[in-house]
């Protein structure tokens, strides 16, 4: 499976392991006049069972997209009880305060350029969502209007992340450049989203 979403401010690309019918990565995007919510979940393993776990986390989050993101994480954790489990990252942006909130569990990677032009890559909690009791941590950062961010599952191996985020190219063109790093028939599910904060 292979698919991409392209817009002026967001590019999302996904390719499943060995081009299987089901991708173990599931993502969700929501934007409105107040801000945005982006979620990327990576079910353990690959194929249908991984997809079911990742999809369960996303569906739980979609039930209340205005909740605190640590509450979203707990709902996602409960949703995978009895399933394979999943790694996940959630970012929520507030346009009024120009603040980005981040939380996650496992090996999803997130990068952004901060207001002091430093590369920011917050660490998620160790382990993965499994239904068992977990400790969650939310981090917040001021974002620079017009700057870019990148979030990806562990199927993407990318060097020189800062170069991609500082590129003057639009996110669609940068996304296609990153896509060139991905094998035609990857050995793991691959999903990435690169976006631009509003000016």
Q: By three-state DSSP, how is residue 45 classified?
A: coil
Look at residue 199 in the predicted model and tell me its pLDDT: 83
One digit per residue, the tens of pLDDT, for the chain of length 199 reads 555 565 668 999 999 999 999 999 999 999 999 999 999 999 999 999 999 999 999 999 999 999 999 999 999 999 999 999 999 999 999 999 999 999 999 999 999 998 888 999 998 999 999 999 988 999 999 999 999 999 999 999 998 899 999 999 999 999 999 999 899 999 999 999 999 998 8
pLDDT at 102: 97
Residue pair 151/109 in contact by the 8 Å Cβ criterion:
yes
**Main-chain phi, psi angles of 49, to 5 degrees:** -70, -35
Give the right CATH number for 1-195 from 3.40.50.10490, 3.60.40.10, 3.40.920.10, 3.40.50.1580.
3.60.40.10
**Euclidean distance between CA atoms 119 and 165, whole angstroms:** 9
**Residue where the block lists tokens 């392991």:** 17
Question: CA–CA separation, 91 vs 72, rounded Å?
Answer: 11
Joined tokens for residue 100 = 């980005």
Q: Does residue 179 contact residue 13 with C-beta atoms inside 8 Å?
A: yes
Domain ranges of the chain: 1-195
Angle at Cα 30 formed by Cα 114 and Cα 111, nearest 5°? 25
pLDDT, position 4: 57
Structure tokens at 103: 């939380």
Which pLDDT does position 5 carry in this prediction?
A: 62
Confidence (pLDDT) at 116: 87
Model pLDDT, residue 85: 95
CA separation for the pair 43, 88 (Å, rounded) = 8
Q: How far apart are CA 74 and CA 12, in angstroms?
A: 25
Residues 6+ apart with CB under 8 A from 32: none
């Amino acid at each position: 499976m292979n698919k991409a979403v392209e817009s002026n401010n967001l590019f999302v690309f996904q390719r499943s392991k060995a081009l299987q019918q089901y991708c173990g990565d599931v993502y969700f995007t929501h934007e409105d006049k107040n801000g945005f919510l982006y979620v990327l979940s990576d079910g353990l393993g690959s194929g249908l069972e991984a997809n079911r776990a990742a999809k369960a986390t996303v569906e739980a989050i979609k039930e209340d997209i205005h909740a605190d993101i640590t509450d979203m994480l707990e709902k996602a954790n409960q949703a995978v009880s009895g399933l394979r489990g999943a790694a996940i990252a959630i970012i929520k942006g507030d346009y009024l305060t120009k603040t980005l909130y981040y939380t996650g569990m496992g090996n999803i990677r997130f990068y952004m350029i901060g207001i002091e032009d430093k590369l920011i890559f917050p660490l998620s909690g160790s382990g993965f969502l499994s239904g068992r009791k977990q400790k969650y941590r939310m981090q917040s950062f001021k974002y620079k209007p017009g700057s870019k961010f990148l979030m990806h599952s562990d199927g993407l191996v990318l060097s020189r992340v800062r170069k991609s985020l500082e590129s003057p190219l639009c996110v669609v063109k940068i996304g296609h450049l990153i896509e060139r790093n991905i094998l035609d028939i990857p050995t793991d599910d691959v999903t990435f989203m690169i976006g631009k904060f509003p000016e």
